[in-house]
Copies of this chain bind each other. A is one copy, B any other.
């Protein structure tokens, strides 16, 4: 794999630079605990995920939509019997998530310091605009990035828009991220480059069938630091 044509590197943020999915898993556990008088943990999980998918085109990604889906789900799972105080707790689960400090993943700061000297770096993330801006500020990483693209989705067309914005060809762009579905596959499809750095936890919605993958088309690294061996 050669990266000699690369001019701009896009970094995913959640679970690539800092911890995110873990907080959602924790929130789901607290939610299941609150709803446990009404259903099994497994059923609660399934119903919440289904509700999130139903609402995704309307709410998009991010914590606020997630909380609205939890509330709706709680009302349905409990057959309209959940107490106001438990619903207040659901709202507070969301507020706690929004207030969480940012936990950088290993080696991120070193790698960005080094790469920002050689390439133009941009941050490509989806979720709530305000929440992502807040995390970037808390992370102290903004100085490494030329700018931030908060994307409503990470499909082929969304990346094509960014390339035209950047005024570069696909072969000049490398995306680095933890999600095969959002950070890797769409890039391969448009002829750009991608490096996959898996995170230990993946949201069900981001998982893909193995047979859509051609592993010769992108590199997978088990540590962020190893980026410096290739770039």
Contacts and interface: CB of A to CB of B under 8 A. Distances in A.
Interface of A: 58-60, 64-65, 67-68, 71-72, 75, 78, 80-85, 87-88, 91, 94-95, 98-99, 128-131, 133, 147, 150, 152, 165
Query: At the interface, is chain A mostly helix, strand, loop or mixed?
Result: helix
A130 B60 contact: yes
B83 A71 contact: no
Nearest to A164: B147
A122 to B, nearest CB: 12
| Pairs of residues from A and B, 6 with the lowest C-beta to C-beta distance, nearest first | A60-B130, A80-B84, A64-B64, A130-B152, A75-B84, A129-B129
Given A130-B152, A150-B150, A152-B129, A72 B60 contact: no
Given A75-B87, A84-B78, A68 B64 contact: yes
Contact of A165 (B59, B67, B91, B147): B147
B60 A128 contact: yes
Contacts of A75: 84, 87-88
A85 B87 CA distance: 13
Given A58-B98, A68-B67, A150 B130 contact: no
Given A99-B58, A129-B150, A147-B165, A68 B94 contact: yes
Nearest to A95: B58
A152 B114 CA distance: 30
A59 B165 CA distance: 28
